[in-house]
Amino acid sequence: MKKMMIGAMTLSLTLAACAAETDEQENGMLTEEETVETEEGPRVMTDGAGNEVEIPEDPEAIIASYLEDYLVALDVMPAAQWSIGDGEGVQFYLQDELADVPTIPYDLPYESVLEYEPDLIIIRDEVEQDMLEQYQLIAPTYVMNASPTDWRETLLELGEILDKEDEANEVIESYDVRAEETADVVAERADGETAAAIWMIDTTLFVVHPERSSGAVLYQDAGFELPSVLNDLSDEADWASISLEELAEMDVDHLFLISDDEEPALTEDRLWQNIPAVENENVYTFDSQSAWLYYGPIANEQVLGFIEESLEAAD
């Protein structure tokens, strides 16, 4: 009889425990699966330097020099932003969002990085081993795998690092829709016509690579035809040096000119004046602080806007 009573009590306690567990689950308390997931700890990713990096959960102070375009697109504010010239030169096209963000030298001196007490450092390019080891003493440091010339790949990797993969995909989808709208404008107003983006510094000319920076926007996204001369450009530079004679040989229909000179000296040259885009008043001027020189979804979307505005103003 005594054994039967003990057995009955044990069964009763077991049933009570099961009922309590069920009540906890129904009231929103952690399930067994969720508890295991919580106990897994921080995510670990292998970076471009081959190191396993422990990514902190919800990092609040991020240093990601020259990746600010992508951070802003993902609604993340960096602890400090890329700069040159003692903070005088920044990515001006991002300043609506980054105006209140302090600057850090582009080469990320150890002391400057330490000053901001980051909890995550993301490096865009390869870095010397001794510098990498110094950064690692400050905070987890991740060297990007993605090519800096592939903005989509870069955005997706940053989305993975920051646990914002859905947001990264949404940014790309939104951009592609925007690019289609610009392509429609180009098809309507400049169907089959060529274009080039030219950066003029004093009397020196540079033309954008057709698969990089704003060149990819011009040709791949907006749908302008590629001048034949650009097929021979080196793959080593985003902007390749080009002579006025080579530019004149392009017979380009639309010129997007990046220049800080109000009256560039080269525009008085006969070769310049004989370019079809110049003859037809299809030269659109922008300063070097604009988005034409940069990479990223925000820069690219601004360039799409510049293209539309230029073509509409030319009518």
pLDDT in tens, 237-291: 899 999 999 999 989 999 999 999 988 888 899 999 999 999 999 999 999 999 9
pLDDT given for residue 14 in this prediction = 44
Non-local (6+) Cβ contacts of 166 within 8 A are 159
The pLDDT value recorded for residue 40 is 60
Q: Write down the pLDDT at residue 143.
A: 98
Single-letter amino acid code for the residue at 117: E
Residue percentage of the chain with pLDDT more than 90:
78
- Tell whether the model's pLDDT for residue 9 goes beyond 70: no
What's the pLDDT tens digit per position in 61-87? 999 999 999 999 999 999 999 999 999
CB 148 within 8 A of CB 209: no
Q: Residues 140-182: pLDDT tens digits?
A: 999 999 999 999 999 999 999 999 999 999 999 999 999 999 9
| CA proximity to 90, closest of 123, 54, 65 | 65
List, in sequence order, every beta strand (DSSP E) within 79-194.
Answer: 81-83, 103-105, 120-123, 141-143
Burial class (CB in 10 A: 0-12, 13-18, 19+), 169: middle
Higher-confidence position of 10 and 189 = 189
Q: If you ran DSSP here, which 8-state letter would residue 285 be given?
A: E
Structural domains of the chain ordered from first start: 43-165 (3.40.50.1980), 190-314 (3.40.50.1980)
Burial (0-12, 13-18, 19+ Cβ within 10 Å), 262: exposed
User: pTM to 2 decimals?
Assistant: 0.85
